[in-house]
Structure 1
């Protein structure tokens, strides 16, 4: 791991996981401009590979993805030694009570709905 700092006193490497490639890349660019080191994955399986390779501090994880969804990704990460303490934030269009209950049960630290205002998103990242 490097000595990357976002200027707020804490190193923050963020992995953005979303099957909507354009949305993921746009958010990644906004996060880079905000001083974060960012990697992007477009599926659940590639997210698991990226977590091992990139070693993020935080994963911003979409829920509704084909194949392995965000709930499954979070459950695998929570069961993997070395990643049990990883901060996982749901970033999804699904904001209903059932989705929020499922994210809590799957090991997410926080549930944000899209589109999340940039100040709220940065606040959530820095809160960890």
Structure 2
């Protein structure tokens, strides 16, 4: 499976460095090119350089939360529309509705299943 998606770029954003490292390692082992950011502002800077096709984005982060980051990514003229997936502890209806309104394509609740994470990574928009 990893070889099929080896050129796909995935950005993992989480203020919990252990959580970010775990998801990044899982995706790297599957052949994805992975970048990690530990906050919202850092995520925007990394996205500008890395140009991800998929973004796994925590919502509950200090300073700039995932909702703000998703909104900024959707408005960024320099970034072709990536698949943005919430990967968060917030799973109630209000959080899901707000994530959809801010431009998230999917909403996963931690801890997410490995097969679900890999499926979401594979669902990113193809670059031709």
TM-score normalised over the length of structure 2: 0.91
Per-residue CA deviations over 1:37-84 (Å, capped at 9, x if unaligned) read 101000000000000011111110000000000000000111111325
- Computed over aligned residues only, the root mean square deviation of the Cα atoms, in angstroms, reads 1.5
User: Unaligned regions of 5+ residues in structure 1, if any?
Assistant: none
Q: Is the 8 A contact 1:61 1:92 kept in 2?
A: yes
Q: State which of 10, 15, 22 in structure 1 corresponds to 2:11.
A: 15
Q: 1:68 aligns with which of 39, 64, 69?
A: 64
CA–CA distance in 2 between the matches of 1:44 and 1:16?
A: 11
Q: Which runs of 5+ in 2 are unaligned?
A: none
Residue number among 21, 43, 48 corresponding to 1:47 in the alignment: 43
Contact 1:14–1:37 under 8 Å retained in 2: yes
Aligned residues, how many?
Answer: 124
Shift of 1:125: 1.4
Is contact 2:6–2:31 with CA below 8 Å preserved after alignment? no
- 1:6–1:12 contact (8 Å) kept in structure 2: no
* Runs of 4+ with deviation above 6 angstroms: none
**Structure 1 residues 4-60: Cα deviation after superposition (integer angstroms, max 9, x where no partner):** x94225731110000001111121111111111101000000000000011111110
Deviation of the 1:100 alpha carbon: 0.3
**Aligned counterpart, 1:93:** 89
Alignment match, 1:77: 73
Q: Could you tell me how far apart the structure 2 residues matched to 1:37 and 1:9 are?
A: 9
